[in-house]
A and B are shown apart, each in its own frame.
Chain A
Amino acid sequence: NAGVTQTPKFQVLKTGQSMTLQCAQDMNHNSMYWYRQDPGMGLRLIYYSASEGTTDKGEVPNGYNVSRLNKREFSLRLESAAPSQTSVYFCASSATVYPDEQYFGPGTRLTVT
């Protein structure tokens, strides 16, 4: 039981490049989330998926797109990376929408130059 896994662990992009961050969970959770964490800003929600087939914007969705591929997988895409997207990205999952306890993956450290 691996919990929540994320790939890649580290990535360096040039401005304007695109990439997809992958997330998978093996806990049979319904809900999945993408956060970014920046120094002094705390964790901020980018997008979430309450259940398979649905996605919704969080606090900071601009510049990102998501896909809930199936119940296990939830990907985050940066179409045209910008230096402001340099951050640590965490995927999380939870069993139920409310109340929920969210469990986090190990994170992806992204640098955009």
Chain B
Amino acid sequence: QKEVEQNSGPLSVPEGAIASLNCTYSDRGSQSFFWYRQYSGKSPELIMSIYSNGDKEDGRFTAQLNKASQYVSLLIRDSQPSDSATYLCAVIDTGTASKLTFGTGTRLQVTL
């Protein structure tokens, strides 16, 4: 069964620090990778997508993809209390063009 693995956390970082969230996936043929943020009681919100090896930056967020290691990460610079949420990694697998497989999420707590 194709899997997406994340550490459930909580990951606690002080305000202003860099938060590093990690995700591994089992299907070597996966092509598309996404990070969603989900506040408690709310729906997932897309924050980053990445398709090629390397880094992709958007404001305080950087997604990193290493297909050889089957690893995708999200860095949040200058972490704010408003970043406290669960971060979901999602992958589109080979041959399942419409289907996202989600990890169970990492809960991030940004402390004052």
Chain A residues with CB under 8 Å of chain B are 31, 33, 40-45, 48, 50, 56, 58-59, 90, 97-107
Offer 12 A-B interface pairs, CB within 8 angstroms, sorted by A: A33-B98, A42-B103, A45-B99, A50-B98, A90-B43, A98-B98, A99-B49, A100-B32, A102-B34, A102-B46, A104-B44, A105-B43
Interface residues of B (CB under 8 A from A): 31-32, 34, 36, 42-46, 49, 51, 88, 90, 92, 97-100, 102-105
Number of residue pairs across A and B with beta carbons under 8 Å? 59
- Residues A100 and B46 in contact, CB atoms below 8 Å apart: no
| B43 near A107: Cβ-Cβ < 8 Å | yes
Residue of A40, A42, A103 ringed by the most chain B CB atoms within 10 A: A42
Q: Contact between B103 and A56 (Cβ–Cβ < 8 Å)?
A: no
In the bound assembly, the distance between CA atoms of A107 and B43 in angstroms comes to 6
Nearest A residue to B100, CB-CB: A102
Beta-carbon nearest neighbor of A31 in chain B: B98
How far, in angstroms, from A107 to B41 measured CA to CA in the complex? Answer: 9
Are B44 and A45 touching (Cβ within 8 A)? Answer: no
Given contacts A45-B100, A58-B99, contact A103 B88 (CB under 8 A): no
Q: In the complex, are the beta carbons of A99 and B43 less than 8 A apart? A: no
Smallest Cβ-Cβ distance to B43: which chain A residue: A104
